[in-house]
Structure 1
Amino acid sequence: MRAAVLTEFGAPLTVREIPDPGAGGGEVVVEVLAASVPPYADEVFSGRRNYPLEPPVVPGPGGVGRVVGVGPDATRLRVGDLVWCDSTVRSRDDALTPDITLLGWSSRGEGGARLARHLHDGSFAERMRVPTENVYPLPAEAGHNLARWSSLGVYTISYGGLLAGGLEAGETLLVSGATGNLGSAAVATALAMGAGRVIAPGRNHAVLDLLVDRFGPRVRPVQLTGDEAADRAAMSAAAEGPIDMVLDLLPPSAPSSVARAAAMTVREYGRVVLMGGVGMLGGADLALPYPWIMRNSVTLRGQWMYPRAANVGMIRLIASGALDLDLERVRTFGLDAVNEAVTYAATHSGPFDRTVLTPPAG
């Protein structure tokens, strides 16, 4: 089969023939039909993000495809099934604190690295090998819009954060980083889950207008100034009432002061969920006042990715029409144009912009 291979950090991806994967016990082989290219893929492949990939490797975090082979322990998946392949792979020998790797993308700690060496390659290929528990059947209608359904990975990340914070219908949510690719997905997902209003702070006035135009008055935009105290006051005022939950999805380039200003708008007994990249590439770490957290009984939680069940929940939200993918701007590229796709994704990283690889059938 043909695949895009990262031979070394800083080098373009090379499309070449590699052996077809085979399905062993607990594994499924999927023909890749559509794989999302993250906007920051160029930062990963250049080495700037310092991701623990071990070249040579086929990158690509998840995708949509058809099952072409199943292991002997699969009881419901069948060859020909249209499926979503989740990249979040967990070790099977520790139910409480499993090691995690993101298939073809990243990993956590030495255990995650060992897992990544076994399940090495991702979705930028004609076929991929995936653990059985990471394969989720899709509704038939997904076959009419494969490229848009490949953005499931983006939405499921934000959905995982909202589940971690226990967002309930009617609540007020603040999304820190709302004008970004992940943050805008969080706005859409929260509204699909029934959020009463979503506070959307950002510096890009055009993007804030886009969010309001798309979702209406339940979105409350706030133009950030960089003055931490003033921005906190403006976000609180936009809510016109208590802010029940804050979800932070700011990128590594954002200063910690922006994350802190947003977090400290949450009400007494409110929840703050951290899913962004603040401090990951250096710079000041997030510093929240101990007395403020304690005296206001604030719940502060980190969340990396999402639980397995979030995949099912996200598929249901989209299939029901509660979350509409038809409004997304999608640009597709064939496998041979993978480097063009990576460049395009970096320059089209705004809300609801999706860059998708559509490898041909092998």
Structure 2
Amino acid sequence: MKAAVLKEFGSPLSVEQVPDPALGTGEVVVDVVAAPVLPYAAEVFSGERRYPLTLPVTPGAGAIGVVRACGPDATRLAPGDWVLCDPTIRSRDGALTPDITLQGLSARGEGGLLLQRHYGQGSFAERLLIPTENAVPLGPIDPADAGRWLGLTLCLVPYGGFLAGGLRPGETALVSGATGNFGGAAVAVALAMGAARVVAPGRNEHALAELRRRFGDRVATVRLTGDADADSARMAAQGPVDLVLDILPPAAGPAPVRAAAMAVREGGRVVLMGGVGMLDGAELALPYRWLMRGNVTVRGQWMYPREAPPRLIALARAGLLDLTHFEVTEFTLDDARDAVAHAAEKSAPFHLTVIRPDQ
């Protein structure tokens, strides 16, 4: 089969013939119809992000595709089914703390690297091997819309954060990083989950205006000035803020994360999903006394629980999560390099760069 291969960090992707995946028990082979290209894919492939990734590798995290073949233990999936390929692969021999690899992208610890030995090859390919539980049924879709359904892979990350924070209908959520690619998706997800209001801070006035245009009065935008105390007060004034989700990238630094976190109400929750300190930058510091006397809960969340993908699909099927917000730009597999460059250039909210191996 044809695949895009990263042989060394800093080298361009090469499109070549690689062996077809070999199906085993507990596995599914999927014909990839659409694969997402992350806005920061170029940073991963250059080595700048220092993600644990065993080379050579076919990159690509997640896909929309059609089941080609199932292992003998599959009881509901069948060839021809449309599925979302969940890239968060968990070990099966660690129920309390499973090792995790993000297929075609990264890994957590030594156990995650062990998983990469078998499930490391990602979705920039004609076919993809995944565990049976990672093939999530979509139901019938129009093949022409496969790229737009990849909006689910973007939304799943903040959805995991809101699940971790226990976001309830009628609450006010604050998305730290709302003008970014994942942040814009977070705004849409919070509203789909029933948030009465979403506070959206940022420096990009055009992106803030675009959020207001898309979602109306349920989104309260706040232009950040860089004065942490003043920014925090202006964000808090849009509340009371029940839950803060931080999803800022590493380059943002800890200052805006701290300002957003401290806008939460007494008894509120803060969920950290961003990249502060990831590239040896300054770490986040929060006041002990403020946390204790304010009864504030702070927790980290990496990705999402196993049950998140089918639940998010249900939100989209019900029309609560509107995937038509996403603008899709498609590339063939042969043009994978161009797709990576385009994704970096078009990293604004609701832009999807997609590789279509079926074309």
- Superposition TM-score, scaled by structure 2 size: 0.99
Measured in 1, the distance between the counterparts of 2:70 and 2:29 equals 6
Q: Secondary structure at the match of 1:215?
A: helix
Name the CA shift for 1:360/1:143 in 2 (closer, same or farther; >3 Å): closer
1:294 Cα offset (Å): 0.9
Measured in 2, the distance between the counterparts of 1:287 and 1:145 equals 44
Report the equivalent of 2:338.
340
1:61 Cα offset (Å): 0.3
Q: Secondary structure at the match of 1:260?
A: helix
1:144 Cα offset (Å): 4.5
Measured in 2, the distance between the counterparts of 1:77 and 1:22 equals 18
Report the equivalent of 1:289.
287
Measured in 2, the distance between the counterparts of 1:58 and 1:166 equals 36
Residue 279 (structure 1) aligned with residue 277 (structure 2):
yes
Report the equivalent of 1:257.
255
Matches within 5 A, 1:147-296: 147-239=147-239, 242-296=240-294
Q: Secondary structure at the match of 2:54?
A: coil
Measured in 2, the distance between the counterparts of 1:43 and 1:303 equals 22
The one-letter code matched in structure 2 to 1:288 is: L
Measured in 1, the distance between the counterparts of 2:338 and 2:219 equals 34
Measured in 2, the distance between the counterparts of 1:91 and 1:262 equals 35
Report the equivalent of 2:308.
310
Q: Is the 8 A contact 1:142 1:149 kept in 2?
A: no
The one-letter code matched in structure 2 to 1:96 is: L
The one-letter code matched in structure 1 to 2:252 is: A
Report the equivalent of 1:145.
145
The one-letter code matched in structure 2 to 1:295 is: R
Identify unmatched segments of 5+ residues in structure 2: none
Report the equivalent of 2:52.
52
Report the equivalent of 2:129.
129
Measured in 2, the distance between the counterparts of 1:266 and 1:63 equals 35
1:23 Cα offset (Å): 1.1
Measured in 2, the distance between the counterparts of 1:252 and 1:142 equals 37
Q: Is the 8 A contact 1:82 1:143 kept in 2?
A: no
Measured in 1, the distance between the counterparts of 2:29 and 2:40 equals 27
Matches within 5 A, 1:60-79: 60-79=60-79
The one-letter code matched in structure 2 to 1:247 is: L
Measured in 1, the distance between the counterparts of 2:215 and 2:262 equals 25
1:142 Cα offset (Å): 5.2
Measured in 1, the distance between the counterparts of 2:312 and 2:143 equals 17
Q: Deviations over 1:228-271 (max 9, x none)?
A: 011011111223xx110000000000120110000011111100
Q: Is the 8 A contact 2:273 2:302 kept in 1?
A: yes
The one-letter code matched in structure 2 to 1:277 is: G
1:46 Cα offset (Å): 0.3
Q: Deviations over 1:110-144 (max 9, x none)?
A: 01111111212010000010000100111213545
1:283 Cα offset (Å): 1.7
Measured in 1, the distance between the counterparts of 2:304 and 2:325 equals 24
Q: What's the % identity of the aligned pairs?
A: 60
Q: Deviations over 1:196-251 (max 9, x none)?
A: 10000000000000000100001000000011011011111223xx1100000000
Measured in 2, the distance between the counterparts of 1:165 and 1:86 equals 22
Candidates 350, 356, 359, aligned match of 2:354: 356
1:325 Cα offset (Å): 1.1
Q: Secondary structure at the match of 1:238?
A: coil
Report the equivalent of 1:102.
102
Q: Secondary structure at the match of 1:262?
A: helix
Paired residues in the alignment total 359
Q: Deviations over 1:247-302 (max 9, x none)?
A: 00000001201100000111111000000001101221000011111111111010
Q: Secondary structure at the match of 1:326?
A: helix
Q: Is the 8 A contact 1:279 1:286 kept in 2?
A: yes
Matches within 5 A, 1:3-42: 3-42=3-42
The one-letter code matched in structure 2 to 1:206 is: H
Measured in 2, the distance between the counterparts of 1:105 and 1:159 equals 20
The one-letter code matched in structure 2 to 1:308 is: R
1:54 Cα offset (Å): 1.1
Measured on the aligned residues, the alpha-carbon RMSD in Å equals 0.9
Measured in 2, the distance between the counterparts of 1:307 and 1:283 equals 28
Measured in 2, the distance between the counterparts of 1:6 and 1:142 equals 31
Q: Is the 8 A contact 2:225 2:231 kept in 1?
A: yes
Measured in 2, the distance between the counterparts of 1:164 and 1:350 equals 25
Q: Is the 8 A contact 1:169 1:193 kept in 2?
A: yes
Compare 123-132 and 323-332 and name the one that shifted more.
Answer: 323-332
Matches within 5 A, 1:76-95: 76-95=76-95
Q: Is the 8 A contact 2:236 2:265 kept in 1?
A: no
The one-letter code matched in structure 2 to 1:319 is: R
Measured in 2, the distance between the counterparts of 1:233 and 1:46 equals 39
1:150 Cα offset (Å): 1.4
Q: Secondary structure at the match of 2:34?
A: strand
Measured in 2, the distance between the counterparts of 1:270 and 1:326 equals 32
The one-letter code matched in structure 1 to 2:84 is: W
The one-letter code matched in structure 2 to 1:148 is: R
Measured in 2, the distance between the counterparts of 1:284 and 1:16 equals 41
